[in-house]
Amino acid sequence: MDDPRTTTRIAVLIDCDNVSAKHIGAVLEELATYGTPTVKRAYGDWTTTQLGGWKPELHRNAIQPVQQFAYTTGKNSTDSALIIDAMDLLWQGNVEAFALVSSDSDFTRLATRLRESGKRVYGLGLRKTPESLRRAVDQFVFLELLQEQAREDEVAPDDSSRPEPKGDSPEPSVNLQSALTKAVNATSGDDGWSTLGTVGQHLSRAHADFDPRAFGHQKLSTLVDEQPYLETRAEGSLRQVRLRSRRNSGRSKGD
């Protein structure tokens, strides 16, 4: 059976007026874990010098530049071009998901419209991204987290020179204990146990910008393992989790 992560076709639409070229490598690497970017377009006025840093990245990553002149001062023509292309791609039916790379809340309605049509929508932007856009997508990823992860990946695990987290990393936008407790309660069976995958799905639906990396973990499993109010166990090939009650507080994880 095909892995849905490799068969899901993603249209990557980049608002170059709103995102620095330094992020694009990490963005495409992140999206590769969700599917295959079959459409990659970058929007902006390429006749200006402001987007000069983007041009080498377009060639390196096989991204199609879309020219959009700023016809009127103060009006963002790039937004309109991106939205029109997104709707064209929607009706063509050649992709299953969209990735909107921008911190601009003007794309909030576009995100909700794409989801109304059954498409999965990923958002990737800076920590300044308004909550309206973050909540309009299925999953939102902060670019600062991707950059921090990329810096860590460049250092060997046993290297004492591993960089400290930068001060520009986004603060977690959710209360971790509250979010995990509600997710477990909402998905657990009569015995109180829930599968870790189901908990993760609930977290993504309830908090589109929830990301274990914001709490210092690459995976949800290691984040859950560190929470004293939760206990976990392996049930066959599945990881399960439940709230730790006083009666069970003496048990070790995995019992």
Fill in the amino acid letter for 115: R
Please tell me the distance from the alpha carbon of residue 82 to that of residue 165, in angstroms, as a whole number. 34
Please tell me the distance from the alpha carbon of residue 120 to that of residue 8, in angstroms, as a whole number. 10
Taken in order 248, 251, 254, 255, the sign of the CA dihedral is negative
User: What integer pLDDT is reported at residue 162 of this predicted model?
Assistant: 43
List helix spans (H) across the chain: 4-7, 24-31, 55-60, 77-92, 108-116, 131-136, 143-153, 176-187, 196-206, 220-225
User: What integer pLDDT is reported at residue 171 of this predicted model?
Assistant: 64
User: What integer pLDDT is reported at residue 170 of this predicted model?
Assistant: 57
User: What integer pLDDT is reported at residue 204 of this predicted model?
Assistant: 77
Question: What's the first-to-final CA gap in the chain, in angstroms?
Answer: 33
Please tell me the distance from the alpha carbon of residue 34 to that of residue 36, in angstroms, as a whole number. 7
Inter-residue contact 85 to 103 (CB < 8 Å):
no
| Full-model pTM | 0.71
The Cβ of residue 196 has, within 10 Å, a number of other Cβ atoms equal to 18
Domains of the chain, each with CATH number or no CATH:
9-153 (3.40.50.1010), 176-243 (3.30.420.610)
Please tell me the distance from the alpha carbon of residue 241 to that of residue 234, in angstroms, as a whole number. 9
User: What integer pLDDT is reported at residue 1 of this predicted model?
Assistant: 44
211 exposed, middle or buried (CB, 10 Å; 0-12, 13-18, 19+)?
A: buried
Tens digit of each residue's pLDDT, the chain (255 residues) = 455 555 799 999 999 999 999 999 999 989 988 899 999 999 999 988 889 899 999 999 999 999 987 655 545 667 889 999 999 999 999 999 999 999 999 999 999 999 999 999 999 999 999 999 999 999 999 999 888 876 665 544 444 444 454 555 556 667 888 889 888 988 888 899 999 988 988 887 777 778 888 888 889 999 999 999 999 998 888 899 999 875 554 444 454
